[in-house]
Structure 1
């Protein structure tokens, strides 16, 4: 890959939240393809943290798996795999506010039973225009995570404040690709796994 797939998207594109979220809907759906059967994924826009809610803050996007109990019907949604909150680049709400929104959504879901009938941990992405940051929710707190080097120079997910990544650059896009590939490989991360992430 010679460049980011978003290399030709100019700065004006990233000013509006709906375009930012539309781009990320496409990105996330590439890693979690939509479907309607067991073992498929749903990427839900404007997802509320509890089952019948329509009044609190909704996540811009939320990924859940479509599951069944040992093949029995009816099908149901898994606990959240990933929650996403995005803002346009001109928004006055920066990454601190975005992280707070993600945290409140997750905590409300845990406190009030969530659409998924149980407590949960999940991955999270926050974006501001073309910039992205990654997090993990451990059931109580939102932990900043990122891509770092292990003792042998290989890439690994770490607990780290980490700078945001510009997805229009090749380095930023490769970072995002690595992180989303890790989410895809371990969609139902646990609190213990988050606690055990290297620093």
Structure 2
């Protein structure tokens, strides 16, 4: 065997080994690329799922927020309607005249007078526009006198220095009591809530 043959055998063996290493390297590289692509696909799918979840959560938040805003708007509209109804009631009471106003004022004074049966001096306040009416009614009560104006829709505020008692029987207080007692019924009728 000649040196040339030995060298050629070594070269041939080296080429074969190089080819084998290159094949193993390509197979490993292909395996790594496939694994990387699989990881990338999995990462992409996970990101898409997260994005879909986030979109759904944001949609739910927006929907919930819109529902709450709509509910607040309905409540505000109802509150406005109720205020308008109450304003209309108060305007109608202010506009009461004649026998109706006298009858209601007298009834409120009669009711308050039960608290002052033993009092010697009783002071009665009322709406400035009702002074003449109240003074006319007071002519039927011994020891009662007009004491001045009270800012109200009508009715009377009665007090006695002796007993330090004050009774507010104004139309305002009656409206307030009725309004509180009947608000649910008023709301049901206005907004047809069954």
Identify the TM-score tier after normalising by the shorter chain: under 0.3
Higher relative contact order (CA 8 A, sep 6+): 1
Rg bigger for which structure?
A: 2
Q: Which has the higher helix share?
A: 2
The TM-score normalised by the length of structure 2 is: 0.21
Choose between structure 1 and 2: higher strand proportion. Answer: 1
TM-score by length of 1: 0.21
